[in-house]
A and B are shown apart, each in its own frame.
Chain A
Amino acid sequence: MVQSLDRSQGRAGGISVGSSDAPTFTGNKALQIEEPLIFEMGQPGRCAVDLPEPPKVKDRLNGLRRAGEVGLPGLSEPQVVQHYTRLSQKNYAIDMGVYPLGSCTMKHNPRINEKVARLAGIGDLHPLQPISTVQGALELIDSLAHWLKTLTGMPAVAMSPAAGAHGEMCGMMAIAAALEAKGERAKRRIVLAPESAHGTNPATAAALGFTVKPIPANERGRVDLAALKSALGPEVAAIMLTNPNTCGLFESEIIEISKAVHEAGAYFYCDGANFNAIVGRVRPGDLGVDCMHINLHKTFSTPHGGGGPGAGPVVLSAALAPYAPYPWIVKQGDAWTVAEDGAKVDGKPLGRLKAFHGQMGMFTRALAYIMSHGADGLKQAAEDAVLSANYVMAALKDVMTPAFEGPCMHEALFDDSFLKDTGVSTLDFAKAMIDEGYHPMTMYFPLVVHGAMLIEPTESQAKEDLDLFIAAMRSLTERAKSGTAAEDFKAAPRYSPRRRLDETLAARKPILRWRPSNSPPGGDPMRQAAE
């Protein structure tokens, strides 16, 4: 039984000696080391690199030499290694276990991807080397492009967007460009998006000057086709739709939707965040999609890296392909070339979205993943992802409350009605999962489901690990429903490197950088407390 913390006494003071929360002299707890900021560690005279004395030359800086110190701390190499290793141990990660963060596809990140991205002939290339010296790099990009086009059944792909949201920008700009070419850009100012859409969808449309109109969902969690049809008209530029949608459901009327959209003269933007559920089994091109971004960091396993970098290539229909942004990688005879800004191509590029040629490091990793899986393995991965989500759904549906009737695709969505009158919120429940050794699922998204809990196990978890996760979730629901554990849940997490953090304070009095004045002398406050 978890010992409840006496919050009235604050800090660790309410814990009896002998409990797991007993204070230590250093403030550390075995492998959990309290770690100061680098700015609190440095000493003048320490340096972790050995660089030669620069040759004496005449200064050619136009008299603009930097005066005074930059203010960087000096550390030795072992200190730097220890510091960042300790920090790393305060993170949860896919490499540690189940990471069921819905909508994020936290699948295994294979290390061969990292290895091949670091080959000198790939990782150590300048983007503006003579084209004749980077033929292999261009071939690599085109190989990935070929896979993406074939898997989606689309004729073209813009490779340069740096992330999913950047891909959305690219796709919606292509739609704006196509409308402009038809002389309709001024009159088609409305973009339709379901209320359950990712926040990036309305943000992207609004940035491009479109007015976003929400379309409602039906009781099955899908787009209400009748409502959509009545919203369509000569002022509508596009619909932005995620499929499988953010409720983890396949839009079963998708073909009717795309038909209606096209008949109204609008375009169909598909948010491909959830492509992992259908890759190898469904080609978005067969659904009438005009463009779709692919998050290489979701479906194709490039590492999430603590929030990036990502990559968001956009596949384009024949109607939008001419507007793909620079650069275009083109094969001329046996040689590859790059059509850069201003170059004549068979189209009217919408411009340039990013310096150079895109996220090459991510292309390499994604291609290594794709080649490892092959056409057969990608299909199996999608099926296993869907199977795992349905398994979790089936195993929890009697104790939690599924938001919609099944089957789901790659993620299982629950609402918080099973927590009604328990005093435990979705947030509390999520934080309690942390104490059980799990990263919480996505919570409070999609917005259309009350207290949403979106669980995406992915295909990467063994059945026995899913079974333990399910057992832990069942145990938590039991405790929550016992009616006596609300305070326990509110106090969670207890065993993580930090307990709940005061986000209101952070936003009310923002401290976005270290300054000598906001650091207590001697470093970390916890060290002080221990002394």
Chain B
Amino acid sequence: MRYLPLTDVDRRDMLARIGAKSVDELFRDVPPSARLGAKVAGLPDHQGELEVERAFQAFAAKNVSPAAAPFFIGAGAYRHHVPATVDYMIQRGEFLTSYTPYQPEITQGTLQYLFEFQTQVTLLTGMEVANASMYDGSTGAAEAVLMANRVTRRHKALISGGLHPHYRGVIQTAARWEGFDAKVGKPDVEGLEDLIASIDKETSCVVVQNPSFFGHVRDFAKLAEACHAAGALLIVVVTEVVSLGLIKPPGEMGADIVVCEGQSIGNGLGFGGPYVGLFATREKYMRQMPGRLVGETVDADGKRGFVLTLSTREQHIRREKATSNICTNAGLCALAFTVHLTLLGEAGFRRLAELNHAKASQLADLLAAVPGVTMLNQSFFNEFTVRLPKPAAPVVEALAAKRILGGLPVSRLIPDDPSVANLLLLAATETATEVGMAPLVAGLKEVL
């Protein structure tokens, strides 16, 4: 048992020091009826590293990795190249195996990168303050609605039909059990939704996504004005954070809270998690934010240093009056984000965004030439929706049989809605190649 340093001699000596005859004595408070005599039945015993690694290789062999197939899926998780430096850095034990920085004197490493992270998030989103990250974009979106409810003291959220269906689901779950209304728009397939008329004096917030789930790029400046005139907040969700290198940031459109899924920068696909939620707002709402915040201060010698701050908002101090029950952020994923974005810098980040847009444009042009395929987007960043002449789900399965991961059938996330059955959502990032696009086009021509 390679992880356990105590020897039998150690154990005997330690028991002697304690004055116990056996380790069982230490468990004497466990009611007799709940004591397991032997180990838990029906489970295998310990294994060596080699055997464990083989077992995981066997799991891996039953999957088709995007590394081994033409790949065009997005929908809230995007496959980007992550520089080797990022993974090296997050595997340094000083970062990997440290805890929440409660002792700032010996966790300045974590605190400083989180301060850098918070600053990067404000710059990308065009907002004034940001927290030290959320679990992911979807939970961040629900926390944003709860925050808007606190700020406005209202309980009615208006949810765009262009919001990722999983995000919508997470908000609706919070609404159902935490007690507020969430009015959801119809799937905004064309990107023409107008929510202004639906805002009233009870609306706490409007939640939109840019680019939308279907890929449309929208200007929300007028929506922001309408929200503010009615005393509501505008929450803008961004699931593809690379788009902020090319598209006007939500802060410049008048957003009050911006939530992004930060996975695209620094974090691999990982079958859906862990990811990293970015959460930014206006300074005036700072004390209503959920999650950890890192602030600058000085130490006893007058040197600059960083600490967790404004913790009177949080559960460990405020308990039932806390702004949120959250105590975990996505520390290491935030580090991956920060290291990758630092590697990119101004020039790299903007070029990465240009490259994504260009690749998606190439893909769009190729698909538009496939008979039966109709492009639905006038605008997009690196993802768009097409209408097929038949249901998209079996088409995607048929492509998968040819080892092509050819997009997401919208019906997977919006079931029971015949109007979206034929819609296919496709993304192309900088990792897409023309060599990979050709089999998709050929495959679609065959299958349709």
Give 20 CB contacts A-B under 8 Å: A51-B355, A67-B248, A88-B89, A94-B98, A124-B268, A134-B271, A176-B177, A202-B320, A280-B40, A305-B96, A311-B274, A325-B173, A355-B137, A355-B138, A360-B274, A390-B20, A499-B301, A501-B297, A503-B307, A510-B309
Query: Would B247 and A64 count as touching, CB distance under 8 A?
Result: yes
Q: Least Cβ distance of B393 to chain A in Å?
A: 9
Q: Could you say which of B200-208, B223-231, B328-336, B436-444 contacts chain A? A: B328-336
Q: Tally chain A residues at the interface, Cβ within 8 Å.
A: 215
Tell me the complex Cα distance, A439–B380, Å. Answer: 50
- Chain A residues with Cβ under 8 A from B325's Cβ? 165, 168-169, 200, 203-204, 207
Tell me the complex Cα distance, A277–B47, Å. Answer: 22
Q: Least Cβ distance of A333 to chain B in Å?
A: 15
* Given pairs A388-B6, A434-B103, A463-B7, 10 additional interface contacts (CB within 8 A): A81-B85, A91-B110, A123-B271, A127-B77, A133-B400, A136-B60, A166-B326, A352-B166, A506-B296, A526-B303
Picked from B47, B115, B271, B315, the residue with its CB within 8 Å of the CB of A137 is: B271
B235 at the interface (CB under 8 A from A): no
A381 at the interface (CB under 8 A from B): yes
- Chain A residues with Cβ under 8 A from B29's Cβ? 249-252, 407
- Chain B residues with Cβ under 8 A from A124's Cβ? 65-67, 79, 268-270
Query: Would A309 and B413 count as touching, CB distance under 8 A?
Result: no
Query: Would B327 and A341 count as touching, CB distance under 8 A?
Result: no
- Type the 1/0 row for B71-89, where 1 means its CB is closer than 8 Å to any CB of A: 1010111010001010111
Query: Would A306 and B110 count as touching, CB distance under 8 A?
Result: yes
A266 at the interface (CB under 8 A from B): no
Interface residues of A in 106-137 (CB under 8 A from B): 106-110, 112, 114-130, 132-137
Query: Would A95 and B97 count as touching, CB distance under 8 A?
Result: yes
Q: Least Cβ distance of B106 to chain A in Å?
A: 4
Query: Would B273 and A361 count as touching, CB distance under 8 A?
Result: yes
- Chain B residues with Cβ under 8 A from A65's Cβ? 246-248
Picked from A351, A355, A395, the residue with its CB within 8 Å of the CB of B172 is: A351
- Chain A residues with Cβ under 8 A from B295's Cβ? 506-507, 510-512
Q: Least Cβ distance of B221 to chain A in Å?
A: 10
Query: Would B412 and A128 count as touching, CB distance under 8 A?
Result: yes
Q: Could you say which of A35-43, A230-238, A481-489 contacts chain B? A: A35-43
A10 at the interface (CB under 8 A from B): yes
Take A54-B355, A74-B347, A512-B130 as given contacts and tell me if A368 and B56 are in contact as well, using a CB distance cutoff of 8 Å.
Answer: yes
- Type the 1/0 row for A484-498, where 1 means its CB is closer than 8 Å to any CB of B: 000000010100111
- Chain B residues with Cβ under 8 A from A173's Cβ? 173, 177
Interface residues of B in 174-198 (CB under 8 A from A): 176-179
Query: Would A163 and B328 count as touching, CB distance under 8 A?
Result: yes
Report the number of A-B residue pairs with Cβ-Cβ less than 8 Å.
727
Q: Least Cβ distance of A462 to chain B in Å?
A: 4
Tell me the complex Cα distance, A501–B391, Å. Answer: 61
A318 at the interface (CB under 8 A from B): no
Q: Least Cβ distance of B240 to chain A in Å?
A: 13
Query: Would A122 and B53 count as touching, CB distance under 8 A?
Result: no
Closest Cβ neighbor of A161 among chain B residues? B135
- Type the 1/0 row for A353-392, where 1 means its CB is closer than 8 Å to any CB of B: 1111111111010001001111111111101101110110
Take A92-B106, A116-B53 as given contacts and tell me if A286 and B33 are in contact as well, using a CB distance cutoff of 8 Å.
Answer: yes
Query: Would B330 and A308 count as touching, CB distance under 8 A?
Result: yes
Query: Would A60 and B380 count as touching, CB distance under 8 A?
Result: yes
B30 at the interface (CB under 8 A from A): yes
Q: Least Cβ distance of B69 to chain A in Å?
A: 8
Q: Least Cβ distance of A241 to chain B in Å?
A: 14
Take A165-B327, A203-B324 as given contacts and tell me if A70 and B124 are in contact as well, using a CB distance cutoff of 8 Å.
Answer: yes
Q: Least Cβ distance of B359 to chain A in Å?
A: 8
Query: Would B101 and A282 count as touching, CB distance under 8 A?
Result: no
Q: Least Cβ distance of B169 to chain A in Å?
A: 4
Tell me the complex Cα distance, A10–B172, Å. Answer: 55
Take A91-B109, A386-B23, A513-B119 as given contacts and tell me if A125 and B33 are in contact as well, using a CB distance cutoff of 8 Å.
Answer: no
Take A341-B169, A506-B309 as given contacts and tell me if A386 and B107 are in contact as well, using a CB distance cutoff of 8 Å.
Answer: no
B118 at the interface (CB under 8 A from A): yes
Query: Would B52 and A306 count as touching, CB distance under 8 A?
Result: no
Take A202-B319, A498-B105, A501-B298 as given contacts and tell me if A353 and B170 are in contact as well, using a CB distance cutoff of 8 Å.
Answer: yes
Interface centre among B94, B101, B130, by most chain A C-beta atoms within 10 angstroms, is B94
- Chain A residues with Cβ under 8 A from B299's Cβ? 498-502
Tell me the complex Cα distance, A39–B115, Å. Answer: 11
- Chain A residues with Cβ under 8 A from B1's Cβ? 373, 376-377, 380
Query: Would A500 and B176 count as touching, CB distance under 8 A?
Result: no
Q: Least Cβ distance of B303 to chain A in Å?
A: 5
Take A134-B63, A309-B332 as given contacts and tell me if A388 and B14 are in contact as well, using a CB distance cutoff of 8 Å.
Answer: yes
A505 at the interface (CB under 8 A from B): yes
A3 at the interface (CB under 8 A from B): no
B344 at the interface (CB under 8 A from A): yes
Query: Would A47 and B347 count as touching, CB distance under 8 A?
Result: yes
Tell me the complex Cα distance, A326–B168, Å. Answer: 13
Closest Cβ neighbor of A10 among chain B residues? B302
A474 at the interface (CB under 8 A from B): no
A-B pairs, 3 with minimum CB distance? A121-B60, A356-B272, A136-B62
Picked from A280, A391, A440, A513, the residue with its CB within 8 Å of the CB of B118 is: A513
Q: Least Cβ distance of A54 to chain B in Å?
A: 4
- Type the 1/0 row for A189-222, where 1 means its CB is closer than 8 Å to any CB of B: 0000000001110111111110010000000000
- Chain A residues with Cβ under 8 A from B88's Cβ? 81
Tell me the complex Cα distance, A362–B133, Å. Answer: 18
B15 at the interface (CB under 8 A from A): yes
Q: Least Cβ distance of A8 to chain B in Å?
A: 12
Picked from A107, A115, A130, A305, the residue with its CB within 8 Å of the CB of B332 is: A305
A75 at the interface (CB under 8 A from B): yes
Picked from B19, B61, B104, the residue with its CB within 8 Å of the CB of A136 is: B61
B36 at the interface (CB under 8 A from A): yes
Closest Cβ neighbor of B400 among chain A residues? A130
B369 at the interface (CB under 8 A from A): no
Q: Least Cβ distance of B68 to chain A in Å?
A: 8
Query: Would B361 and A90 count as touching, CB distance under 8 A?
Result: no
A227 at the interface (CB under 8 A from B): no
Tell me the complex Cα distance, A47–B169, Å. Answer: 40
Q: Least Cβ distance of A493 to chain B in Å?
A: 5
- Chain B residues with Cβ under 8 A from A116's Cβ? 52-53, 56
Query: Would A255 and B33 count as touching, CB distance under 8 A?
Result: yes
Tell me the complex Cα distance, A168–B322, Å. Answer: 15
Take A65-B248, A355-B272, A368-B52 as given contacts and tell me if A80 and B378 are in contact as well, using a CB distance cutoff of 8 Å.
Answer: no
Query: Would A199 and B317 count as touching, CB distance under 8 A?
Result: yes
Take A48-B345, A283-B36, A308-B328 as given contacts and tell me if A140 and B245 are in contact as well, using a CB distance cutoff of 8 Å.
Answer: no
Q: Least Cβ distance of A250 to chain B in Å?
A: 4
Closest Cβ neighbor of A440 among chain B residues? B103
Query: Would B430 and A51 count as touching, CB distance under 8 A?
Result: yes
Take A70-B124, A87-B109, A120-B67 as given contacts and tell me if A355 and B348 are in contact as well, using a CB distance cutoff of 8 Å.
Answer: no
- Chain A residues with Cβ under 8 A from B99's Cβ? 99, 101, 104, 106, 304, 306-307, 439
